Structure formats: structure tokens, C-alpha cells
Amino acid sequence: MQRILLFLLFLVVTSCNYFNVKKTSSEAILEEELQTFNWRDVDVYPTFKTCSTSSNQESKKVCFQNTLTEAIYKNLTSQKIVVTQDIQDTILVHFQISETGELHLMDAKIDSITLVEIPNIEDLLYESLDFLPEIYPAIKRGQQVKTQFTLPIQIQVD
């Protein structure tokens, strides 16, 4: 009888651990979600108002890049650029689009020869952004997000 009582007492003491409910904090859930979150991709690519009629994501992306490139080329070709030697360069322009749709030129990797021949090339790039149509920012999980991208611009002056 004593053994049965001891066995029942042992069962009661050890079985209490099975009823403990493990609470998970909202911070732990958020941290786990952020670990699995792909920060490099967006659900909706940034776009111009003129590109909103495109049907799929890839065509909107191409339209955005083409519209931006055309605006830069249009501004650069309207300038009177005089050089002493032929220039054929690809400029890597780093842009950032804010959550509100503002486009900022962050950096431009320009060859030294191009900088010598066209010292105001960065000013011309900044100036070309003034004539862009309205930009809709990128969207990730229903939220407007800041995005960065690099656009190659080919410069050829004879």
C-alpha cells in the first residue's frame, strides 16, 4: 500500500510539468518572422504613373527602367557637351526611392576620363531627375518601402 501511495505521489509531482503552457512572446514571433523574411525582393516594383497600365511585374520593371533611362538620355542629349577626345563609358548610377516615392541619386561610378572631359556630368544626372513623372514606391507585404537599385547608363560622345 505504501508503494502504491508513493507511486501515486510520484505521478502527481511529475505530471504537473505536462500542464505547463509554453508562452511565446510577440517579440519572439516577430524575430522569427524577420529571420525568414526576404529583404531583397519586393512584391511590387517601384513604377511611374505611365507604367501602371503594364500587366505583370516584369513589364512594369522594364517600363520603369526604360522611362528613367529615357529621361536621363533626353536631358544629356539636350546639353551642349564639348570634349577633346571620344568618350565611350558606362556609368553605374545608384538610385534610392523613398517610401513616399522620392527618387534620390546616391552615387555614380564614373570613369576618370569621363570626369575630366565632362566635369559637370553628375550635375547633369541630378538635373535629369527633375523632369521625371510621379513615382509610386515599391511595396512589400502591403507596405511602401525604400528601395535601392543600380542603373547602367552608356555615354558615347564623339
**Residue 127: partners with Cβ closer than 8 Å, 6 or more residues away:** 75
Between 33 and 99, name the one with better pLDDT. 99
Between 145 and 56, name the one with better pLDDT. 145
Between 24 and 6, name the one with better pLDDT. 6
Rg (CA), the chain: 29
Between 85 and 19, name the one with better pLDDT. 85
**Average pLDDT value for residue range 135-143:** 86
- Report the share of the chain in percent with pLDDT over 90: 4
- Neighbour tally for 71: CB within 10 Å: 17
The answer to which of 22-31, 77-86, 100-109, 123-132 has the lowest mean pLDDT is: 22-31
pLDDT recorded at residue 96: 92
pLDDT recorded at residue 34: 63
- Residues 63/48, Cβ–Cβ less than 8 Å: yes
Helix (H, G, I), strand (E, B) or coil at 150: strand
Q: Where are the beta strands (DSSP E) in 25-141?
A: 47-48, 87-97, 103-109, 135-136, 138-140
- Whether 138 shows a pLDDT value over 80: the answer reads yes
- Residues 135/103, Cβ–Cβ less than 8 Å: yes
**Please, what is the average pLDDT of the chain?**
80
Domain ranges of the chain: 47-157
- Neighbour tally for 133: CB within 10 Å: 10
Task: Encode pLDDT of 13-69 as tens digits.
Answer: 666 555 555 656 777 776 776 666 666 677 788 888 888 776 788 888 888 888 888
Distance between CA atoms of 31 and 33, rounded to whole angstroms? 5
